[in-house]
Amino acid sequence: MSKNYITISVTSNDLDKRIDKFLTEKVASVSRNRLQSIISEKKVKINDQIIISSSSRIKSTGLITLEIPEPIEAIAKPKDIKINIIYEDKDLIVINKKAGMVVHPGAGNSDNTLVNALLHHCGGSLSGIGGVLRPGIVHRIDKMTSGLIVVAKDDQTHISLSNQFKNKTVEKEYYLFCWGDLINQKGAIENYIIRSSRNRKKMTISKNNTGRFASTYYEVLEEFQINDDDNISFIKCNLNTGRTHQIRVHMSHIGCPLLGDMLYGKQKVEKVDNEKLKYFITHNFINTSRQALHAKKLGFYHPQKKERLTFEIPFPSDFQDFLKILRDTE
């Protein structure tokens, strides 16, 4: 795979910004950590002068040239894992990821991930701009979340899709079940999300507007009474941003954690009066830590064809079965 160069204009409005923060804002396809690594490898120049430190401040206008090094051979190895392909062409592939599948390799999940499956299916045609362990991965959904994810097969497609996510032109529609009922049937949850200082696996709402801005639009579709005082709500969410655990954090923040989400909220299964409903929730969501969240719809512009593509998939079987039980017990 050939090297990839990105050129960025620097204006007077950019002066005195930290170089790593500036590049993070401008190059959506590359993480800040990887950008810092690229800077340390002396692959970034401003007006042909090499930047030697991530903390350097921009002192002059002009052009920044960023060299994305040729990716190292992926540590992840191809593995013949069945994946549900919704769409595929020479530039990209859209997958319906099942709940329980990790997107990319990490601690404890080195060879049964979506990346392993994609390396087997696509061979060497995935983009390398995401780094060693995430070839082709433009965005991600959590392990126990099901639904749509788009993967790039080349670097230019990867950059284009990443910019669409950054510029908020990607349509992302999710459906979920949560404990409780919302005060308003429609609305927006907007605040800033940061990593928790108490538990590094969790995200939390910032109390002083630090962190990253997050915006979730929701609509209550149905409410189901589980006892005299409590409900389970079925909700549609559209994301205007894509922060880590965004929907899960937002729903927990307003007192309506997702069913099965053991990280972000107390599970209220003991309050469910109907035994069939209680059994289903326990065995299909709580015991499996399957947060009841499904990425049902995904829309974006095809980077090469320049046409709008929109994909919508059915609910997974656990959602369908759960809805039937809820409606039957009303």
**Partners of 225 in the β-ladder:** 231
Segment (H or E) for 234? strand 231-239
* C-alpha distances in Å from residue 82, one per residue of 8, 58, 215, 294: 40, 48, 34, 19
For 284, other C-beta atoms within 10 Å of its C-beta total 18
CA 281 to chain centre: 25
| Catalytic member of 20, 91, 142, 155 | 142
Give the DSSP letter of residue 241.
Answer: S
Residue among 156, 152, 143 nearest 118 (CA): 152
- C-beta of residue 95 within 8 angstroms of C-beta of residue 136: no
For 31-47, give the DSSP string: -HHHHHHHHHTT-EEET
**Whole-number Å distance between alpha carbons of 34 and 31:** 5
Active site residue 273: no
Pairing of strands 92-97, 146-152: antiparallel
The catalytic site residues sit at 142
